[in-house]
Amino acid sequence: MARITKAQRELAKAAQFRATAKTLLCDRYNDWNDWEFDWLTDEVRRPADYIYSEKEWAVLNRLPHYARSFSGYAGYTVPELTAMAYASRYDMDDPEREFVEKVHRWGATNLKRRQIRWLASLCRRFENIGYDPLPDCEPPEEDSLSSAA
């Protein structure tokens, strides 16, 4: 029976890292900020034999928290929240109005964590909706960063 070497295990982990990063990057309705998008793009482009550091793994492990989709917030569905915000879109600043119009154009039934929070905050200006902590409300701890320092 052939033994798997440490180098082979590291390369398999690197392939897993790249696959996860690519999945996150290619999510159709992602809401990555510029830094996250650039970081994911850079990580996916690394050579196949590149071994990712613990700090890179820590960043990658935080991102799925923000990539999680939600179909509702505080008892309202995404289409209900969208309708509330869309009706008042002309009372918003340009970036906020553009966001609401984009979500309306999508016909979204699910939104990412930051998107649904933003939409709910916009709705809260015009309607009395509550707050929802959303499941898995905090990103994973950064124990690997503090132990590596």
Give tens-digit pLDDT for 81-108.
999 999 999 999 999 999 999 999 999 9
Query: What is the overall mean pLDDT for the chain?
Result: 89
Question: Whole-model pTM?
Answer: 0.78
Say yes or no to pLDDT of 144 above 60: no
Tracing tokens 């793994």 back to the chain, one arrives at 57
Say yes or no to pLDDT of 134 above 90: no
SS3 per residue for the chain: CCCCCHHHHHHHHHHHHHHHHHHHHCCCCCCCCHHHHHHHHHHHHCCCCCCCCHHHHHHHHHHHHHHCEECEECCEEHHHHHHHHHHCHHHCCHHHHHHHHHHHHHCCCCEEHHHHHHHHHHHHCCCCCCCCCCCCCCCCCCHHHHHHC
- pLDDT score, position 133: 84
